Structure formats: C-alpha cells, structure tokens
C-alpha cells in the first residue's frame, strides 16, 4: 500500500493496517459530518452566488464522486471496459470519464466499453475525450514530461538520445520542487547548452500518447512551451544527435512528438 505525501513526490510504503484504519475513520466522518456539510454548502453557495454557485458546488461534488468511483471500481472497470494493455482505471486524481477517454484514444475499449462511451456521447458529444484531464497526478502509468518546441523555417528542433532510434522534443522530467520554467530551463541547458529566456516563455499545449519502449497502457504526457534562448545550440549530455525535422519526417519522432507535429501543421507553422 502506498501514500502520496505530495504531488510529484515518490510514493512511500505504509502498513496495510494503517490504510484500513484511515478508511474506517474517513467513512465514519463522512457518515456523521457529510450530510451536515452538504446542507451547509448548498445554502452557503445559494446565498453567496445564487443558482450559479449551487451548480458549481454540485459539479465539484460530482467530479469528486467520479474520482472516488475510478478508485472504488477500478478492478471491475479494468476487466469489463478495456482490453489487456489499456490505460488502467484507478488513478485517484482522475475521473472515470478521463480514463475512458484515454483508452478511446488508444483504441483499447472493449465492446462494453464502446457501448458505455457511445451512451455518454449521446448525452454529451465527445464526452470522454473532452473529459481527459491533462493535469492529472502522474502515476506509474502516466509519465509527466516537459518539452521545448522551437520552430525555424517550418522545421522543428528535435534530439535523439544515445542508443535510441527515435527523435523527441527536447526536454525532460521535473526534479522535486521545480516549476515548469525551472525544470525545462535546466533540462535544455543540460541537453543543448543554451539558456532559455524566462520572459519569452509561452505555453503551447499538452500532448499525450503511448510511451515509447514502455508496456502498453503506459502514457507519456508532454507539457510543451516555446521560448527564445541565449547561446549556441550544441548537443550535450546523453544527446547523440540534434536535427531539424519537418512534417514529412514525423515518422522519425516519438509518438507524443508526432502529436506536436500534427498540431503545428494545423497551425500552418510546419
């Protein structure tokens, strides 16, 4: 059993009996204080913001219940809704609809899963795809990375690590306590020996795909930024090769990188 002490921090083991005890305490608190807190929350929201406030309050509860269901029913959903190798249900920071959407993108839904997804689409078109949460807490099945997108003359700067075949968007993972800006600046300095200019940072988007060289169902999410830089681009550290690639070369890029290329193509930038 594990306990997450802080987002982005590694999981730490804890005694199973502590988990059982904490579950029982939380259940008792919910039964005793839950109804009182719910009623107070309704009236507080109503008096503060009217029906809009009530709607927002109930939506937050609905999302929390959905997240609880994702944990509570994870084993059953993994059995009935997705094929072997799919993105597993069970991340406590994620809703059922979000995990359903990820498996839809991967093409890993079973017949039953497709039926559920189709039913939700009748109520809310593209419900599961629109529900994918790109800010969900990283887990063993969701690798969280940062990427620096630099485009010149319709081509994207890409790098390839030693003993790897595919190129990827420069960047990497955060260290504990780092912001996106701090982590990406450090990674780019280590990989390409240049200094990103903080004042020019601009968020481009989040892109998610099956992680390369990982078991099926393990996803990688890249939060991409653009930025100007100081210095001369030179491969360093574990980087074997630096290359400018256009849309016609996207087959040389990682799966998540290909999504970045597709986005840039839609924007008529490559």
Tell me the per-residue pLDDT of 61-79, one tens digit each, with 9 for 90 and over. Answer: 888 888 999 999 999 999 9
Is 26 inside a domain boundary?
yes
10 has pLDDT over 50: no
- Tell me whether residue 120 is in a domain: yes
Answer yes or no: do 11 and 124 share one domain.
Answer: yes
Q: What is the pLDDT of residue 237?
A: 77
Instruction: Please indicate, yes or no, whether residues 122 and 156 belong to a single structural domain of this protein.
Output: no
What's the CA gap between 116 and 249, in Å, rounded? 37
Whether the pLDDT of residue 9 is over 70: the answer is no
For residues 197 and 164, state if they share a domain: yes
Cα 80 to Cα 84: distance, rounded to the nearest angstrom: 10
Q: What rounded mean pLDDT belongs to the chain?
A: 89
Q: At what angle do helices 16-72 and 96-106 cross, to 10 degrees?
A: 60
Q: Measured in whole angstroms, how far is the alpha carbon of residue 84 from the centre of its chain?
A: 21
In a domain, 233, yes or no: yes
Note the pLDDT tens digit of each residue in 113-165. 999 999 999 988 999 998 888 777 778 888 999 999 999 999 999 999 988 99
Quote the number of domains for the chain. 2
Highest-pLDDT range among 41-50, 175-184, 242-251:
242-251
Rounded Cα gap, residues 216 and 225, in angstroms? 27
Neighbours of 147 (CB within 10 A): 24
Identify whether residues 88 and 197 lie together within a single domain. no
pLDDT tens digits for range 226-268: 999 999 999 997 899 999 999 999 999 999 999 999 999 999 9
Scanning the chain, the segments in alpha helix (DSSP H) are 16-72, 74-80, 96-106, 111-123, 127-130, 180-192, 255-266
Do 96 and 200 lie in a common domain?
A: no
Residues 93 and 212 occupy one common structural domain: no
Check: CB of residue 106 under 8 Å from CB of residue 87.
Answer: yes
- For tokens 């929201």, name the residue: 45
Whether residue 111 sits in one domain with residue 8? yes
Q: Does residue 207 form part of some domain?
A: yes
Higher pLDDT, 35 or 3: 35
At 14, is the pLDDT very low, low, confident or very high (cuts 50, 70, 90)? low
DSSP, collapsed to helix, strand or coil, labels residue 67 as helix
The whole domain housing 249 covers 142-266
Residues in Cβ contact with 211 at an 8 Å cutoff, skipping those fewer than 6 apart: 143, 218, 219, 220, 255, 256
pLDDT at 21 over 90: no
Q: Does one domain contain both 11 and 100?
A: yes
Using DSSP's 3-state secondary structure scheme, residue 24 falls into helix
Q: How confident is the model at residue 8 (pLDDT cuts 50, 70, 90)?
A: very low
The model's pTM is 0.66
């Amino acid at each position: 059993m594990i306990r997450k002490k802080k987002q982005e921090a590694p999981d730490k083991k804890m005694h199973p009996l502590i988990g059982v005890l904490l579950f029982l305490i939380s259940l008792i608190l919910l039964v005793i204080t839950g109804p009182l807190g719910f009623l107070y929350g309704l009236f507080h929201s109503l008096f503060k913001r009217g029906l809009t406030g009530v709607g927002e309050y109930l939506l937050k509860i609905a999302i929390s219940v959905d997240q609880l269901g994702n944990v509570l029913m994870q084993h059953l959903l993994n059995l009935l809704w997705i094929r072997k190798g799919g993105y597993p249900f069970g991340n406590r920071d994620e809703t059922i609809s979000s995990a359903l959407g990820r498996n839809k993108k991967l093409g890993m839904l079973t017949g039953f899963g497709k039926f559920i997804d189709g039913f939700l689409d009748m109520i809310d078109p593209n419900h599961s795809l629109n529900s994918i949460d790109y800010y969900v807490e990283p887990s063993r099945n969701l690798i969280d990375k940062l990427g620096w997108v630099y485009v010149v003359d319709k081509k994207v700067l890409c790098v390839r690590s030693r003993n790897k075949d595919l190129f990827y968007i420069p960047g990497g993972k955060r260290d504990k306590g780092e912001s996106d800006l701090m982590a990406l600046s450090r990674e780019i300095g280590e990989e390409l020996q240049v200094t990103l200019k903080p004042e020019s940072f601009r968020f481009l988007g989040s892109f998610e795909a099956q992680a390369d060289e990982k078991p099926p169902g393990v996803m990688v999410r890249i939060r991409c930024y653009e930025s100007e830089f100081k210095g001369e681009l030179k491969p360093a550290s574990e980087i074997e090769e630096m290359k400018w690639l256009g849309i016609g070369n996207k087959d040389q890029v990682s799966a998540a990188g290909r999504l970045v290329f597709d986005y840039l193509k839609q924007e008529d930038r490559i």
